[in-house]
Homo-oligomer: A and B are copies of this chain.
Amino acid sequence: MDCIMEFQLILSRASLLTGRLPVRNGFYTTNAHARNAYTPQEIVGGISKDEILLPQVLKKKGYVNKIIGKWHLGHRTHHLPLEHGFDEWLGAPNCHFGPYNNSDRPNIPVYNNSQMVGRYYEEFEIDKKTGESNLTQIYLKEGLDFIFHQAKARRPFFLYWAADATHAPVYASKRFLGKSQRGRYGDAVMELDDSVGQILNSLRDLGIDKDTFVFFTSDNGAALMSGPKQSGSNGPFLCGKETTFEGGMREPAIAWWPGHIPAGTVSQQLGSVMDLFSTSLSLAGLNVPEDRAIDGLDLSPVLLNNTHVNRPIFYYRGNEMMAVRLGPYKAHYWTWSNSWEEFNQGIDFCPGQEVAGVTTHTQQEHTMQPIIFHLGRDPGEKYPISVLTKEYQDALSRITPVVVKHKNGLVPGLPQLNMCDLAVMNWAPPGCEKLGKCLKAPKSQPWKCDWPH
């Protein structure tokens, strides 16, 4: 019933919904070289109206589309989910950071569709001290209700269940707090696991399990700089979130579709979160947009018949292709974990790990002679293959034309994450007036966003 794959992720939820690399869909910055950008409250940009999102295409076949949880594709009104193909939303444009002082920085609003219904740490409580919050339960109930109503109405649906857990600050509801053997982080994982189980059970109970394709994965590797109390582990992999090493990009991925995906299968297929765009459309009998480059592949043959496609994966930080994977080989053209300055402040993306010339704190270029690892025998990227070996030369001679082709065909999108402005923050989201929770925005003073890594 499930198929476990090795999954490579791009630093963006935008890629999942557009099937395109961040450098194409605009979710990157050109303010500095190779910077990881994202969408804090002060970001001006967001998902462009020119991008075509998965729910927009699914609508053609009558799908009802809902997102529950974190959006992160821009927080200004025109960037929100209902403007980009979703019919329903319960959740927030950003993560549950906070609590913030409302005069300098407002708490993140939670939306029900296009109206805010409160804010994190105000109407949606998260006790940072005890770690108690019902947030996952709220999102779970919303998901189960949605599934129930669509099943009863016999409507095809797409549910993007994007729980905030297990992002730091880590929380769990009372029933799970203290229950795991891995502290509060483990409690949060346990609650997430229980929630997924309840969702699968509801599909079975409603008799639609054989008609529902379910995919579970994560948006990045464990955030080791928050570890170990506020983060998971990346097992044998090098470094964590924010890096293009395996600990930053390789994820568990489980596909579930009783009667269609053979139970207990393990696939060696190299996949990407962008493939979910193409694969979902294929399963729904729809074509991907033909007027633009789509990076995702239709993996339905892999899932349904355990076939295999040899395909490259490109690892970006901002505007730079840092690395590429082809077959078992991964070639690093640029290495960087974070700056010495940040590292010396105690921010460590690779705690306890250090591979000479690889986990560098200066941006190092290796484009003339990339650092190559064999991820089969060295999944931890600890033993660079000697450039003097035939193996290195053979691998590079296969990788080089793939990289050349990719770079020659690349038309970067307009970078959306270059400009910041306190005035665009969530001061007065739609619906605030009904709640008496509108705040006064400061004067607009846009500046170039500063991305430290």
User: Which residues of A are interface residues toward B (Cβ below 8 A)?
Assistant: 181-183, 185-186, 227-229, 233-236, 238, 268, 328, 351-355, 374, 376-383
Contacts and interface: CB of A to CB of B under 8 A. Distances in A.
Contacts of A181: 268, 328, 376
Number of identical protomers: 2
Contact of A236 (B186, B236, B354, B374): B236
Nearest to A230: B377
B229 A377 contact: yes
Contacts of A238: 352
A328 to B, nearest CB: 8
Contact of A355 (B227, B352, B355, B374): B352
A376 B268 contact: no
Nearest to A351: B382
Contacts of A355: 351-352
15 contacts: A183-B376, A183-B377, A185-B377, A228-B377, A228-B378, A233-B380, A234-B236, A235-B235, A235-B236, A351-B382, A351-B383, A352-B354, A352-B380, A352-B382, A353-B353
Contacts of A228: 374, 377-378, 382-383
Contacts of A376: 181-183, 186
A12 to B, nearest CB: 27
A117 to B, nearest CB: 35
A416 B190 CA distance: 50
A383 B378 CA distance: 24
Contacts of A229: 377
A438 to B, nearest CB: 42
Contacts of A381: 352
A183 B379 CA distance: 13
A190 to B, nearest CB: 13
Given A228-B374, A351-B382, A353-B353, 10 more contacts: A181-B328, A181-B376, A185-B377, A186-B377, A227-B378, A228-B377, A228-B378, A233-B380, A352-B354, A352-B381
A328 B182 CA distance: 10
Specify which of A236, A379, A381 lies most central, judged by the most chain B CB atoms within 10 Å of its CB.
Answer: A236
Contact of A182 (B186, B354, B377): B377
A234 B237 CA distance: 11
A233 to B, nearest CB: 5
A381 B352 CA distance: 8
A69 to B, nearest CB: 25
Contacts of A233: 236, 379-380
A9 to B, nearest CB: 19
Nearest to A354: B354
Specify which of A181, A235, A380, A381 lies most central, judged by the most chain B CB atoms within 10 Å of its CB.
Answer: A380
Contacts of A380: 233, 352
A179 to B, nearest CB: 13
A183 B374 CA distance: 10
A379 B235 CA distance: 9
A228 B185 CA distance: 32
A300 to B, nearest CB: 24
Nearest to A238: B352
A229 B386 CA distance: 13
B354 A353 contact: yes
A185 B377 CA distance: 8
Nearest to A378: B228
A263 B351 CA distance: 37
A328 B228 CA distance: 14
Contacts of A328: 181
Given A182-B376, A183-B377, A233-B236, A227 B352 contact: no
A405 to B, nearest CB: 27
A227 B383 contact: yes
Nearest to A184: B377
A38 to B, nearest CB: 25
Contacts of A185: 377
Contacts of A186: 376-377
